[in-house]
């Protein structure tokens, strides 16, 4: 049987997710969370700012980061849960209609603690990092 879970984790292992952020993504997220800030839903108000248009929620980008952590769990096998995100940064705006790629790369494996530490970067089509974080996966001894 092939190694799975923490035993299969290696430094440098990577998964990615690409998505065009649609207006429906932003509005549905705003409705679910109740975050109806003009930054996200008021084109007129945002047209008067340095951004010139609406921007996606930073927390929505964290949701896309979560997609890649789930992909990594699937790739490694076994059972794991998110232990949390550290140093989450929203470096540049993501506008409605932007295509982003989220890359999740294992940076460290701590087999004794059953944890992996990953660098998660969100890049726009120009390759610029627009959001970044560290993510920790905790591997469970028993299968779900």
pLDDT digits (tens, 9 = 90+) for 112-140: 999 999 999 999 999 999 999 999 999 99
Give SS3 for 13.
coil
SS3 of residue 82 by DSSP:
strand
31: number of Cβ within 10 Å = 11
Kindly give the pairing relationship between strand 99-110 and strand 14-20: antiparallel
Instruction: Report the alpha-carbon distance of residue 129 to residue 112 in Å, rounded.
Output: 32
CA 101 – CA 78 distance, rounded (Å): 26
pLDDT at residue 144, rounded to an integer? 43
- pLDDT reading at 142 higher than 90: no
Judge whether residue 48 has pLDDT over 80. yes
Name the band, by pLDDT with cuts 50, 70 and 90, for residue 1. Answer: low
Q: Is the pLDDT of residue 2 over 90?
A: no
Q: Are 46 and 62 in contact (CB under 8 A)?
A: no
- Structure confidence at residue 15 as a pLDDT band (50, 70, 90): very high
- Per residue in 50-95, pLDDT (tens digit) is 999 999 999 999 999 999 999 999 999 989 999 999 999 999 999 9
């Amino acid at each position: 049987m092939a190694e799975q879970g923490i035993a299969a984790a290696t430094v440098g292992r990577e998964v990615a997710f690409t998505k065009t952020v649609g207006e429906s993504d932003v509005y549905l997220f705003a409705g679910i969370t109740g975050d109806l800030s003009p930054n996200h839903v008021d084109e007129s108000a945002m047209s008067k700012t340095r951004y010139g248009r609406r921007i996606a929620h930073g927390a929505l980008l964290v949701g896309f980061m979560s997609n890649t952590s789930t992909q990594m769990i699937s790739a490694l096998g076994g059972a794991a849960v998110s232990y949390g995100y550290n140093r989450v940064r929203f470096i540049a705006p993501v506008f409605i209609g932007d295509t982003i790629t989220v890359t999740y790369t294992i940076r460290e494996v701590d087999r004794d603690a059953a944890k992996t530490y990953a660098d998660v970067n969100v890049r726009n089509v120009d390759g610029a990092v627009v959001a970044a974080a560290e993510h920790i996966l905790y591997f469970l001894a028993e299968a779900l």
